Amino acid sequence: MNAIKKSIYNVFFKTSGVFFILFCTIDFLYAQDGNDLVKALTGAGYENVSRSVGETEEIILLENSLWRGNGDGVREIVKLVDKFPMIPGKSRRVIILRNKVPQVSLLLPAGEFGSDWIVSYELGMSWEPVPEKKFMNNSRWKADIVLYPQLSLRNQKFHKIYDVLFNIAPTLEIAPFRGMKVVGQIVIPVFNEYGPLYEEVRPGYLVVQQMFRVENLFVQASVGNFNQNRWGMDLTLFRPFTRGWLQYFALRGEVGLTGSSYFYDWEWHYGPTKLFTWNVGGSYYNPQYNVQCDLRVEKFLAGDIGVRADMTRHFKRTSIGFYVMKNDRDNVDGGFHFSILIPPMKLKRGRHIRVAPAKYFNLEYKAAGLFYNGRSYKTLPGQNRAEDNFNPNYIKSQLPNN
C-alpha cells in the first residue's frame, strides 16, 4: 500500500513539475515575443511605444512618427505587428496615438490571427492611460523643424488675373507634455504682390496647444498667434459616434476669442481680444468612396454669419474637395481645396531634432475672392483635412487586403 502511495505521489509531483515548467516556459516565450515586438516597433522609428497584457487583451500603443501619411503609417504598423504571434485566448488591440492622445484603435479578436482588424474610436475596457516613464522611444522634448510652403492667390484687379504671395515658413514644433504642442514660426517672403504688409520677415504661428480626450470627446485648446492676423484663444470640440448607423456621423464645434495681430515695420501691432467667433456643425463619412461631407453654421471674422458645406474625397496620399458658402450679407462663394502629401513618404526622427518639409501642401481656391467676408482662422500650420483624418473607415480602407 505504501509503495502504491509512493508511486502516485511520484507521478503527481513529476507531472506537476512538468506542467509548471511548461507553463513558465510558455509565459516566458510570450513575454520575450512581447519585448521583441516593442523593440521592433521602436527600432523601425515609431515613438511612444508601450505594451501591456490585461485579462482579455494585449494592448499595444504607439505613435506614427515615421510615415508621413496616416494611412501608410497604420498599414505598415499592422504588417509589423502581424509578424508576432498572439497570446492564446487573448485579443490584440493596437491604439494609434497623436501626441500621446489615443485617436483610433484596431482590434483583432482572439483566435483570428491574420483576419480583418476591427477599426473604431473605441478603446476597450482594458485600456488605461500609460505613465510617461513606460513609453519607449519617448517623443517628449523632441523637436521638428518643419518647412511650410505658403501660397496665396488674390483676384481683385481688373488689369491682372491674380496677385501672388509665396512664403517659406520654418517652424519649430515641440511636444513637451502629453497632449501639448508648442509651435513657433518665422515667415520668410519669397515672392510678394500683396503689398508692404507682407514684405518683411516676420513671426507667423506662435501657439501653445493642449489636446484632451474624455471618453469619445476630443477637446483641443489653443492660445497664441494664429493666421489671418489674429491672436487670442480657441477651443475646439469633436464628438464622433461609434455604434450602429450613427457611426458614420460626428459633431463638431469651435469658439474663439481673438484680437487683431500683425507685424509691420518691425513692430507687433495688436488689438484687444474682443472678437467672438464660433462654428457648429456635423459631418457624414461615406466608407465606400472615402467621401466626407461637412456642414456647419459659422460666425466669420468680419462678423458675418453664414453656412458652409464641404465635400472631400480622401485618397491614399491626397485629399481633394470643394465647398459652397453663403452668409447673411448676400455673399455667395465657392471653390475647391486640396492637400497633397509632399515626399519623402517616411522620415525617421533622430535623437533630438528632425528637419523636414511639411507633410502636405494645402491650397484653397475661392471663386468669388471675398477679401473680408466668409473667412476664418486656423490655429496650427499643419492643420488640414488629410493630416487630421483618423476616421476609422478611412484607416480600415488603408489596411493590407483592403
Here the cell at position 214 is: 474624455
Confidence grade of residue 268 (pLDDT, cut at 50, 70, 90):
very high
Do the beta carbons of residue 228 and residue 234 sit within 8 Å?
Answer: no
Provide the pLDDT for residue 325.
96
pTM: 0.89
Judge whether 104 and 351 are in contact, CB under 8 Å: no
**Angle at CA 195, nearest 5°, toward 192 and 196?**
105
| Residue 113: band (very low, low, confident or very high) from pLDDT cuts 50, 70, 90 | low
Q: Look at residue 28 and tell me whether its pLDDT is greater than 90.
A: no
Is the CB of residue 339 less than 8 Å from the CB of residue 315? no
Amino acid identity of 223?
Answer: V
- What confidence score (pLDDT) does residue 157 get? 67
Q: Which three cell numbers stand for residue 332?
A: 455667395
Q: How confident is the model at residue 2 (pLDDT cuts 50, 70, 90)?
A: low
The average pLDDT across 346-367 equals: 91
- The predicted pLDDT at position 31 comes to 47
- Give percent above pLDDT 90 in the chain: 77
Q: How many CB atoms lie under 10 A from the CB of residue 400?
A: 11
3-state secondary structure of 32: helix
In angstroms, rounded to a whole number, what is the distance separating the alpha carbons of residues 238 and 261?
27
**How many Cα atoms are found within 13 Å in the side-chain-facing hemisphere of 310?**
21
For the chain, how far is it from start to end, CA to CA, in angstroms? 67
Residue 162 has pLDDT above 90, yes or no: no
Is the pLDDT at 12 greater than 50, yes or no?
no
Mean pLDDT value across the chain: 89
| Each residue's pLDDT tens digit, 269-289 | 999 999 999 999 999 999 999
Cα–Cα distances (Å) from 395 to 246, 248, 256, 282, in that order, read 18, 13, 31, 20
Pair 289, 313: CB distance under 8 Å = yes
In the predicted structure, residue 6 carries a pLDDT above the cut 90: no
Whether the per-residue pLDDT at 43 is higher than 50: the answer is yes
Residues 347-361 have a mean pLDDT of: 91
Backbone angles phi, psi at 70, to 5 degrees: -60, -40
Instruction: DSSP letter for 67, please.
Output: B
Name the residue with higher pLDDT: 367 or 144: 144
Could you tell me how far CA 28 lies from the centroid of its own chain? 36
